[in-house]
Amino acid sequence: MKSWCLAAGLLLGPFAGIAQDNLVNSLKNNQSDASKESFKFTPVINVEVTSVKNQKSAGTCWSFSTNSFLESEMIRMGKKPVDLAELFTARNAYVEKGINYVRMHGALTLGDGGACHDVINMLAKYGALPQEAYSGNDYGSPGSSDRMNKLTEAILKKAVSGDFDPSWKERYIRTIDSCMGAVPEKFTYEGKEYTPKTFAKEVVGINPEDYVELSSFNTSPYYKKAVLMVPDNWSYDQVYNVQMDDITKTIDYALKNGFTVAWASDVSEKGFSWKNGVAYVPEKDFSSMSAAEKAAMFNGPKPEKEITVEMRQAAFDDYETTDDHGMQITGLAKDQNGREYYIVKNSWGASNDYQGYLYVTKNFVKYKTTAFLLHKKGIPSDIRKKLAI
């Protein structure tokens, strides 16, 4: 996820943030001052979660959202949750991405972007750290990711230029660590010494093999694995391809059984308002709305389009749906008309009408989901049987 990746007042592109004023201007058509008073949300399911975090200006939403998901998994498993170091995960992913970039002769997307599965893969390979053991040198403060990306990109591009220098990897990792901080070989947590791997095993206690990622495309066989065709899938991971209606069926089942979901989605739509904390699919196209209709988009519940498989695929194929942002689905609510919304935890700080949360309709999730990750036991048994997991 990278293309928009909003972060506590910053709107991110692939390599850089834009000032908060630009964010306000870019979203001026999809917010309302009267929204919160016009919606009446009643929680139906609220799975226990940790506090809302702030990724600042870095495009690390994928790491914040999926580490938040892992923290909720610890709670579900009866463990004391740890404030996991999201930037430790990101640092490790950047190391691996650079290695893949050189292996692929430069045919790979660089920058801060990533995917839900990156967090699981990095947990399996590198372990985990608590926030107190790795701050990431405040990576995400204005300009920090720009500076690091400029330095590391120069090293990688030279490595694939034809003048191969076997020392590139050492210099590349050293540069990342100079920007984000060196990883401690050992550290003390609550009076006991750990390495990242022993901490992941003994304290976090999550088995990476228990987690699966799903999506839905009509270009690949259903209930089989397919490569997730988004630029930030730098590891070429595969996802389980399910029917469109299986997306919400699975999320509903997971929430009802105490599981949360790490969710990757497009957030560039006019029906997505961070300030108002609401996302839906307007029945009328934005370009066809009157000025009054545009101004009232978030003044209470509005009719939605019904989503078809063909609409979903077309939006993905023509770049209307892009792999923008990662969040965590943590619950279910209803509005005053009985329509169901997923409760979604974001990582842009507690800076909107719902203190860091959004209410997202099921139609929006069907339409704009690029992938989602969860514990395999959070999948309904009939779908698990079709997937053979």
| DSSP state letters, 178-190 | HHH-PPPSSEEET
3-state class (DSSP) for residue 278: strand
Q: Give per-residue pLDDT as tens, 32-74.
A: 787 899 999 999 999 999 999 999 999 999 999 999 999 999 9
CATH 3.90.70.10 fits 11-24+40-387, yes or no: yes
Name 152's bridge partners: none
pLDDT at 207: 98
| DSSP state letters, 138-191 | GBTBTTHHHHHHHHHHHHHHHHTSS---TTHHHHHHHHHHHHH-PPPSSEEETT
pLDDT at 299: 96
Confidence of residue 7 (pLDDT cuts 50, 70, 90): very low
Mean pLDDT, residues 269-279: 97
| DSSP state letters, 337-363 | T--EEEEEE-SB-S-STTTTEEEEEHH
The enclosing H or E element of 74 equals helix 61-76
Q: Does the structure show a pLDDT above 90 at 145?
A: yes
Q: Which residues make Cβ contacts (< 8 Å) with residue 305, sequence separation at least 6? A: 281, 282, 283, 311, 363, 367
Across 31-43, b (16+ Cβ under 10 Å) vs e yields bbeebbebbebee
pLDDT at 11: 40
355 closest CA partner among 295, 274, 283: 274
Q: Does the structure show a pLDDT above 80 at 149?
A: yes
CA contacts within 13 A on the Cβ side of 329: 33
Of 14-23, 60-69, 130-139, 257-266, which gets the smallest average pLDDT? 14-23
CA distances for 78 relative to 204, 275, 329, 331, angstroms: 11, 34, 20, 19
Q: Give per-residue pLDDT as tens, 284-328.
A: 999 999 999 999 999 999 999 999 999 999 999 999 999 999 999
Q: Specify the length of the chain in residues.
A: 389
Q: Give per-residue pLDDT as tens, 225-265.
A: 999 999 999 999 999 999 999 999 999 999 999 999 999 99
- The domain segmentation of the chain, as residue ranges, is 11-24+40-387
Q: Which two tokens stand for residue 117?
A: 């599965």
Q: Which two tokens stand for residue 299?
A: 């003044």
Cα–Cα distance, 220 to 242 (Å, whole number): 10
Confidence of residue 24 (pLDDT cuts 50, 70, 90): very low
Arithmetic mean of pLDDT over the chain: 92
218 closest CA partner among 153, 139, 295, 315: 315
CB 280 within 8 Å of CB 271 = yes
Q: Give per-residue pLDDT as tens, 298-308.
A: 999 999 999 99
Mean pLDDT, residues 113-134: 98
Number of H helices, E strands in the chain: 13, 15
pLDDT at 32: 79
Q: Give per-residue pLDDT as tens, 68-98.
A: 999 999 999 999 999 999 999 999 999 999 9
Radius of gyration of the chain (CA): 20
The enclosing H or E element of 12 equals strand 11-12
pLDDT at 5: 52
The proportion of the chain whose per-residue pLDDT surpasses 70, expressed as a percent, equals 93
